[in-house]
Amino acid sequence: MGLLVVGYLLVRQFDLEEFRAIHWNWRLVSFCGAAVLIFLLRHLAYSYRLHLLSERFFSFRKSMKLIVIWEFSSAVSPSSVGGALVALFALSKENYPGGKTAALVVYTIVQDTIFFLVSLPLLFFLIGPMIIRPGITDFASMDQYGLWFLISYTIMIVYGGTLSYGLFVSPHRFKQFLAWLTKFSWTRRFRAKAVEIGRDIVTASNEYRSKPWSLHLKSFLATMVAWSTRFLTVALLIFGFVEDLDFSGYNLAFLYGRLQAMFSIILFIPTPGGAGVVEYLFGGFLSDFVPSGIAPIVAGIWRLLTYYSYLLLGVLIIPGWLRKVMRRG
């Protein structure tokens, strides 16, 4: 879907003159190389977090392979679902205890959410409403994307705050609340799933509340690095292709904020990995940085590096991994 949309945008928006204006020089090569290195750092940060939270049950090398499986499942799942279910399956197949598996996955979701809940208001305060989309200078000028930004952030507050309360404050009350919430006729069909979530939260709370603060701090720092490098990868590609864009701290921070805001808006897209929609929205969200004539090219390279690479790696790694774990039983 993403490739089809990129192809469509190239036909509709591609500007030969702007493409010819791209200087294929050492600046472009350097920024693209830096983007690749930053992307690799993201994978290392996720792998370190898994290695750390499993208390080194998974070696760092094994963690790197499991993160490929995790990211592959995220790439083929709707953005609103992610790869959590496949992660549960993958970790359990590596003989990691079932209760600890659920605890680890829930804890990573909470850390990911806390990162967004803390960083988005900070970026909004430092840069202003322009981080959402070009032309949004204040709350009065917010369009449907600004509204969806607020809705997405509100959703993150609700489920992030609720999971954090259940994980760190009172897991048993959280479990009781889910049971009460699903006793009504119109919510009863979700009862089994709610009971499972409540049980996972209690397990995760028992598992991680007693851990030293150093583990929480290190894993959250790894979370920050993993998410930050996700957006910095795109920013560096843009600096490489748009030569007249000054590489300054302000522009880098502005681009970073815009990309994180864009990601929060597309977080609940129902297509696999946001395929198609992300590529289509890219040029509009970054029209004040990237000329429309080359936006599809930049978007295509970005997705090739950060999205299709995991699809390819997953296709290469997962069949052999599945044969191995199934043979093991």
**How many CB atoms are located within 10 Å of the residue 16 CB?**
8
* Domain span including residue 131: 2-328
H/E stretch holding 198 reads helix 191-208
Name beta bridge partners: 272.
Answer: 78
Mean pLDDT of the chain: 83
**In this predicted model, what pLDDT tens digit does every residue of 138-195 receive, in sequence order?**
777 777 878 888 888 898 888 888 888 888 888 888 888 888 888 877 777 878 877 7
- Least confident residue range of 90-99, 148-157, 228-237, 247-256: 90-99
Angle between helices 98-127 and 249-265 (to 10 degrees): 130
Confidence band of 94 (pLDDT split at 50, 70, 90): confident
Cα gap 233→210, rounded to integer Å? 36
Whether 175 and 199 have beta carbons less than 8 Å apart is answered as yes
Our count of domains for the chain comes to 1
Q: What was the pLDDT predicted at 36?
A: 95
- For residue 123, pLDDT beyond 80: yes
The residue written with tokens 């750390």 in the block is 52
Say what the pTM is: 0.85
Cα gap 166→205, rounded to integer Å? 7
Whether 296 and 18 have beta carbons less than 8 Å apart is answered as no
Whether 238 and 255 have beta carbons less than 8 Å apart is answered as yes
Q: How far is CA 240 from the centre of its chain?
A: 23
Whether 204 and 167 have beta carbons less than 8 Å apart is answered as yes
**In this predicted model, what pLDDT tens digit does every residue of 253-272 receive, in sequence order?**
999 999 998 888 877 766 66
**In this predicted model, what pLDDT tens digit does every residue of 67-90 receive, in sequence order?**
998 888 877 776 555 566 677 777
